[in-house]
Structure 1
């Protein structure tokens, strides 16, 4: 049975979310503050997490950033009353996989959680991807270029995986937003440029032949030499 962790301090909202998810057949655990939520999420045993942004004891985005730094890749739906574009971008940049603003329809929340849990279940285990000297071990979350390990954040790993899967193809800004950030819109920020800049510094190190290349007016592509 799929397991969902709900981290929500507002009692009525928490009860409604838990009941709606249980009605769909999920096993649901509830934590009502930041520290308890972080402790439960650290094990990585859940198929998805719903995370309130404003929590007692530990802010939701701080909790999320801590999880991602520790390598926990469980999909997270950030739930917040803050509905500005900047607020959504901060939630996603902290490591969120989706963002839902309050008030929300329970049916929409359940559908989003189901999509996140299904995506996690559909990920192939033990898959190795390679493009030229780049090798990615998806199960162990490890990436190397030649003999050099790449120290990637979860978002950088996901971005590089998309590049490797589409090596030598031009990837537009819109494609990256949809595939890596799962936006259906352009938030009008430089979040992609920032992440690609950081990824380049890790992949194309020192005097190595650059692999991540800018396509003028079009986007970016991963050059995979033989």
Structure 2
């Protein structure tokens, strides 16, 4: 998984026509989506494992296979990720086949960019993937701001309110060096009159509770802390 916090909805666009991927990715990014493109079946599988998309926009005709065979593989490997077919194949037989094999929508080329964006949003709402897209992810740590639940490597991590607010701030600012004063101001408030040692204590608590993998919260001597992957 990519080492950065990703609050945006992630879209994987799979098409071997560069003009199409550029048009689609530009339109989706303009609407606030996080977009990555792939040009083949093999590349799509590799990118999906790293990118963990919330929805896939998938062409049928690809240089090393076809979208009809790729869709079930993506479903199996990505926890049922929704798929919107975007293809020039417009026969009723193709549409039925695509939807039968796990497609959640089917749009034919040529297409309206506005309609594509609207359909992506509709698929996210219809499949419940929109709720998942609201989660924050860094490495194998996942935060659901709606429920305030935290998981690391799939394990539920029980946090106090202060621990949760501190972790949330770290994840939102992943890879950014945060000073002790920034952390104190954000988590405890600017009128906090306690000892700065509280921060070190709570960072220690978080490290212990997130001990299922490599350390993610690192001390920057003389400055503060940073959340990043080990070097």
Q: TM-score with structure 2 length normalisation? A: 0.50
Aligned partner of 2:79 among 63, 68, 72? 72
Cα RMSD for the two superposed structures = 2.1
Conserved 8 A contact 1:44-1:74: no
**2:17 pairs with 1:10:** yes
Name the counterpart of 1:116.
123
What is the Cα deviation at residue 117 of structure 1? 2.2
Q: Distance in 2 between matches of 1:123 and 1:108?
A: 18
Instruction: Choose 1 or 2 for highest CA Rg.
Output: 2
Conserved 8 A contact 2:54-2:129: no
Q: Distance in 2 between matches of 1:121 and 1:102?
A: 26
Q: What is the number of residues matched between the two proteins?
A: 125
| 1:31-50 paired onto structure 2 within 5 Å | 31-42=38-49, 45-50=52-57
Structure 1 residues 17-38: Cα deviation after superposition (integer angstroms, max 9, x where no partner): 0000000001101111111112
Name the counterpart of 1:30.
37
Structure 2, unaligned runs of 5 or more: 1-7, 133-231
Q: Distance in 2 between matches of 1:120 and 1:43?
A: 22
Q: Distance in 2 between matches of 1:124 and 1:11?
A: 30
Higher relative contact order (CA 8 A, sep 6+): 2
Conserved 8 A contact 1:77-1:96: yes
What is the Cα deviation at residue 59 of structure 1? 1.2
| 1:20-169 paired onto structure 2 within 5 Å | 20-42=27-49, 45-70=52-77, 72-121=79-128
Q: Distance in 1 between matches of 2:13 and 2:78?
A: 20
Q: Return 111-120 or 97-106, whichever deviates more.
A: 111-120
Structure 1 residues 28-61: Cα deviation after superposition (integer angstroms, max 9, x where no partner): 0111111111222346821111000001112111
Structure 1 residues 134-174: Cα deviation after superposition (integer angstroms, max 9, x where no partner): xxxxxxxxxxxxxxxxxxxxxxxxxxxxxxxxxxxxxxxxx
What is the Cα deviation at residue 119 of structure 1? 3.3
Name the counterpart of 1:167.
none
Conserved 8 A contact 2:16-2:40: yes
